[in-house]
Structure 1
C-alpha cells in the first residue's frame, strides 16, 4: 500500500499503481468528471499515469491555470491530428499552450493554409473530439524515437531529440496522431467541446530568421460552446478597448521610427493624464511622510557594479557610453541613486523610517519582439520610492505600502486583484540571486506574515524574486477580466550592505537599514495603458484631458460660449469650444467619439438664462442647468476624484 496526501492534509492509502483518476473516483464521481490533470509531488501528471510510491497529490480542473494550459496543449495535439488528415506529409515543430489558447508550428512544404481551411479544420477537430479518444502516454527509448521520426523524414523532431536522453522521452497518441511530447494531457478528446482557430502567422524555426519560416496556427478551446461564445464576445470588446487603438484616436501618445522603437512621446492629452496621476501620487505620498527627490538619467559603471545590477541585469540595460575614460549607463532603475541620497548625510535611528519618492525616468533595453504599445517599452516613468527602516519597523511599513495599493484600487475601480509573492530558487543562489540563504528564508517569511495578517489575497511563485530579495508583484484585472502586472513591492536585504549604508542606533552602534522598494502606480506607460482599456477610453472626469466641450448651436452664440469657457478656466476645469460651422448633431457625435465626459450645448435659451444644456458621456441629456451650479458640481466631482 502507498499513502496519498491531499492539500487539506488528509492522507489515504491505496494499492501501488493507482492513478490520479482512480483516486479522484474514490472521493467522488463528480470530482473525477472535472479532473483534467494532476500534480504529483509538484510534478505535472496525467490522470491515467500510475503512482507507485507515497505521494502528495493535487487535482487540477478547468478552474486552475495549469488545468487550462493542459487543456489547451491537448487541443493543440487535436489540431495537429486534423491538420495531418487534411495536409498529409506535414511536419510539426512545437505546439505549446499560451496565455489564452495554443499554437502549433508546422512545415507544410509547398502548401498553404487559408482562412477557409481554418473553418474546415474546426469541423474536423469537432469530429475527432467526438471520438473521445484517450491521450495515451508511452515512454520510449531514444533509439526507437529517432528511428520513428527518421522513417518519417522529420528533421524537426530529430532536432528536438538531440537534446534528450533515455528516460526523458515520451510519446503521446490520441486517435491516429502520435507526437514527441513530455505531457501531460487531459484524459480524452471528448472533453474538448468547442474550438476556434483564430490566426495564421509565420514563425521562423527556433525563432531564428536565418532558418526556414514555418506556419503557425493559433487557436483556443473550451469545455462548452457557451464559454467559447462568451470568450469571443469578450475578445470583440477587448479589441474596442485596445489601448493602442484608443491611444491614437484620443491623441494620448505617439511613436516614431526616427525616435526609436519603444520610446513613447506623450501628446498634450496624454501629458494631462500624467500630470493628474503625479498630482495624486504626490498628495498621497506627502500624507504618508515621503520626501521627494530628483536623480540624473545616467550614472557611472562603478555604481551599477556596486548595486549588483550589472552582473545580474546587464542584458536589460542599454550599452555604455564612453566619456573622459569612464563608462556611463542610462539609468535602468532609480534605487542606486536613492541609496546615494540616503548616504549623503549621517543618519540615526530617529531618522527612520526614511522615505524618499521620485517619478523617475528609467531606460530598459527590451527585445524588439517583446515591445507592445504602452505595456512593454524602453523608456519608463516610474512611481518609485524607497523606504529605509529597521527590522522592527518593517511590518508596519510594508503593510502601509500595501494599504496604499488598496486606496488606489478604490479610486480607479479595481475590484479584482491578487498579490503574487515572488520567491527565490535555492538552486540559483549565487547565479540569479544573492547567495544569502538564511536571509532569503527570513525575509520571505516576513513578507508572507504581513500578507497573511493583512488578509490580502496572494499566491506564491518560485524563482521570480528580485536578485536582492523577495517581492510582491501586484496583479490587477480590468473590468473585462484582462490581467495586468501593475507594480511591485520589494524587500532588499543586500544593497544596503553593498553601498555600506548605515544609521546610528539608540545605543550608538552602526546598523544597516532594511530597504523596501515600492511603486504603487507602476509606470505611466503601463498604468495609462491599463486605464485606457479599463475605462474603454471613457476616463473619469478628474483624469480626462478635456473635461468639458462647449458646443454652440451657431456662431451667434460664440461670445457667450467664450464667457462659459472663461468661467470654467477660473474654476480649473479643462474645457474647449467646438467653434466649427457644423450642425449640432455632428458636434455631439464627434465629442462622444472623443469620450469627453461633459458637453455644454449653447443656444438662445441658455444665453438668456445664463445656463448651459448639459449632456453626459454615455448618458445623454441631463437638462438645462445654471452655469454657476454645474461648475460647483463639476469642481466637487473633480476634487473627490469620483
Structure 2
C-alpha cells in the first residue's frame, strides 16, 4: 500500500503527516475524545472519511459551532427514529440543527400530546445507549426514490436537489447541492440497518457520543415554511456536550421564561394582544402607556438637544411612492395587500423613509440647512407570517423611532461618528451596557441597486465610524438592505441574550430616485447622502427587551408607579394622601392603597407589581411628620422626614438608578 501525505491544521499550526492509504480522519485524531468530525479542504466530513494525498484536515470539536450542529443534527435523527418506531404512520419532514438545539417535522394522524415527549425521549435514551453507528452511503436519484418511496416529503426534497434545496427552509441539511447520500443507523452487533434518512451529513460516529439531550416542546409548522403546504407537527429538542451544560441551558431557559415579556405584560397589566384586533397587533394599558410615554419623552428630549426636527406622516399612501423608492418591488411580500380607492392602489405604510424624502423635496434646500435631521415616531404595518409573530418582539403594527439625516458627502463621516455615539449613549441611558456592532454588506444577489463604487464608499464610511467606538465588529456579508450597507447595534441583556437594537444605513440610492437636491456653496445643484437610523428599532420591541432585561423590575424613572402609600390603618390614609399630592406636585407617580386589605397584603401586592418605593405611615410617622420606606428587596428605613423622603424618590428618578 502506498502512503499519502496530509496536513493537519490546528488554528495557525500546520503539521505534515505521512499515513497509509485508507487512513480515516478518526485515526488521525485517535485519542482526542472531543473530536467528532473533520474539516477537509473547508468541507465538513465524517470521521469515517478516508483521507487522500494532499488533504488539509482540521479536527472539529464537539463544543465548536460546527461540532454542536453535528451533535444536534445527529440527535434529531435519533429522535426521528424513536418517533417512527413509536408512531409507525409518521412520515418524515426535515430535521436541521438550530440555535441551541434541533427540531424534526412529522406528518402524523394526530398532533403529539405532551405525554408523548416522555415516551419518545425514553426510546431515544435506549437508542443512544445502543451505540448505533451512523453510516454514510452515496445513492443515485433513482435509488433514493426507491428506498424512500414511503416518504413523500423526502421524495419532494430529492426533486429539489441543488439551488432550490438551499433556498427551502431546512432542506439544505437534507440534500444540499452535491451528491445524494443516505445515512443508515446500524446495529453495533449485527450491522443491520435500524433506521435510515436522506441526509447530507456529517454525523457523529455513533449515538453513544450524544452526551446529553432533552425534548422541549411541540408546535405546528407548515411544510417548507409555506402556508400553502400541509401543516406538520414539529418537535423541538436541545443537545449539549455535557450534562452540566444541558443543566445550565435548562436553568437559563427557566430564567428566560420568568422574564418572558408576554407573561410579565399580563401580570403587570401593561399590554395585551386581543384576538379581536388580530395577531401581532397590541394595545397598551394605562401602566404600559406610562412606560411607553416616558421612553418616548426622554428620547424626544435627547433628540431635540441633538438638533433633530420632528415631523409626522400619514399611515397610508399611494402605491407609486413605494415604487419610486424601490420598496414595492423588493418588499411587496412584507406589505399588506393594497387597498383599492378611487381607482388607485393605496398601501399601509411599511416604512417611513419615502415620506421623509417628500418632506425634504417639498421646497428648495440649501447647503446651509445640512445636515438636516428629520425624526418621527412613525407607525408602520408589515405582513408578518403568523408563525413568526411573537408578542411585542415581532408584530404586524409597530412604531419606529425613525430618523433620516440628509447631509453632504463631506459631512457624512463626522455625521456617522456622531450618530453612532448618540445611539450607543442613549441605549446606555435605558440600562443596556454591553454591545457589539454588525456590519451588513452587499451580496451577489441582483436585489442590490447602485454602483459598486458607491457601495464601497458607503461601507468604508460605516466601517470607519464603527472602528472609533472600540467595540467588536462582526461582518454580515450579503445582509445589507437593497439600497445600502448598514450597521446594527447588538446589545446583550441581563442574562446574556443578544438583541438587535439600532440600525444605521448609508443610502446613495433613494436621494437619486426621488431627485433630491440642495444648492451647494458654488450655486450648483447637488444630491445629498441619506442616512437611515432607527434607534429603538420599534418602540414595541424595545419595550419588550427592557421588560425582559429588567424582569419587570424597572428603575424608578421607568416604573409606571414609582411609589405607593401603604397606611397601617384607615386613620393614616389621609396623611399618605397629602404625601402623594406633594409627590405628584414634584412630577412623581404615586398612588395610595386605600383598599380594605390588611397592610401585609398591600405590601405583597406592591411587591408583585414591582413598585420601587413602598411608603408606609402609622401613628409614630404621623406624629413625627415622617414616613417609613420599604424597598423592593425587603429592606426598610423608618422615620424619614417627609421632605427627605420625597427628595430620595425624586433623586432616584432623576439619576435613573435602580433601587
TM-score (ref. length: structure 1): 0.90
Residue 519, structure 1, aligned to residue 534, structure 2: yes
Q: In 2 relative to 1, CA 325–18 (structure 1 residues): closer, same or farther, beyond 3 Å?
A: farther
Alignment of 1:49-448 (within 5 A): 49=49, 61=61, 64-88=64-88, 90-108=90-108, 114-150=113-149, 153-164=150-161, 167-175=178-186, 176-203=194-221, 205-206=223-224, 214-426=232-444, 428-429=445-446, 432-448=447-463
Q: Contact 1:20–1:38 (CA<8 Å) still a contact in 2? A: no
- Say if 2:639 is the partner of 1:618: no
* Aligned-pair CA distance for 1:410: 2.6
Range with greater deviation from structure 2 (379-388 or 445-454): 445-454
Shift of 1:121: 3.2
Q: Alpha-carbon deviations, 1:321-340, whole Å to 9, x = none?
A: 33334332221111111112
Q: What is the CA–CA distance in structure 2 between the aligned matches of 1:628 and 1:399, rounded to whole Å?
A: 44
In the alignment, is the contact (CA less than 8 A) between 1:39 and 1:59 conserved in 2?
yes
Q: Which moved more, 1:493-502 or 1:212-221?
A: 212-221
Query: How far 1:113 sits from its partner (Å)?
Result: 5.4
Higher alpha-carbon deviation: 432-441 or 584-593: 432-441
Is the CA contact (8 Å cut-off) linking 1:330 and 1:362 kept in structure 2? yes
Q: Matches of 1:23 and 1:492 in 2, distance apart?
A: 53
1:19-40, Cα deviation, whole Å (9 max, x unpaired): 9957984xxx89x544455666
Determine helix, strand or coil for the equivalent of 2:117.
helix
CA 600–116 in structure 1, closer or farther in 2 if over 3 Å, else same:
same
The offset of 1:66, in angstroms, is: 4.5
Change (3 A) 1:311 1:229: same
1:393, CA displacement in angstroms? 2.6
CA distance in structure 2 between the partners assigned to 1:52 and 1:292 by the alignment: 66
Structure 1 residues 120-129 or 563-572, which shifts more?
120-129
Gaps of 5+ in 1: none
Task: Check the 8 A contact 1:40/1:55 in 2, yes or no.
Answer: yes
Distance 1:558 1:245, change over 3 A: same
After superposition, the C-alpha distances for 1:567-603 in whole angstroms (9 at most, x for unaligned) are: 1001110011111011000000011111111110111
Distance 1:551 1:160, change over 3 A: same
**Is the CA contact (8 Å cut-off) linking 2:8 and 2:17 kept in structure 1?**
no
Change beyond 3 A, Cα 1:67–1:147: same
Say which SS state the counterpart of residue 373 (structure 2) adopts.
strand
Paired residues of 1:197 and 1:220 also in contact (CA < 8 A):
yes
Q: Which moved more, 1:416-425 or 1:79-88?
A: 79-88
In the alignment of these two chains, the number of paired residues is: 632
Q: Is the 8 A contact 2:501 2:535 kept in 1?
A: yes
- 2-structure distance, mates of 1:309, 1:468: 10
Q: Is the 8 A contact 2:334 2:384 kept in 1?
A: yes
Q: Cα RMSD between the aligned structures?
A: 3.1
1:561 and 2:576 correspond = yes
Offset, 1:547: 0.5
- Structure 2 residue aligned with 1:508: 523
| Normalised TM-score (structure 2) | 0.88
Aligned to 2:652: 637
SS at match of 2:148: helix
Once the two structures are TM-superposed, the CA of residue 548 in structure 1 deviates from its matched residue by 0.5
Alpha-carbon contact 1:423-1:462 (below 8 Å) kept? yes
Give a deviation string over 1:331-382, Cα, whole Å, max 9, x none: 1111111112222333333332221211111111212222111011111111
Q: 1:378 to 1:201 in 2, by over 3 A?
A: closer
Instruction: Provide the residue aligned with 2:169 in structure 1.
Output: none
- Aligned-residue offset at 1:452: 3.2
| Secondary structure in structure 2 of the residue aligned to 1:126 | helix
Quote the offset at 1:536 in angstroms.
0.9
* Separation of aligned partners in 1, 2:391 and 2:490: 19
C-alpha displacement of 1:269 = 0.9
Contact 2:6 2:57 in 1 (8 A): no
For residues 28 and 358 of structure 2, the distance between their equivalents in structure 1, rounded to whole angstroms, comes to: 58
Deviations along 1:435-493, one digit per CA (max 9) or x if unpaired, are 53332233223322332343221221233211101112332232123332223111212
Distance in 2 between the 1:51 and 1:335 partners?
A: 55
Residues of 1 paired with 2:84 and 2:566: CA distance?
62
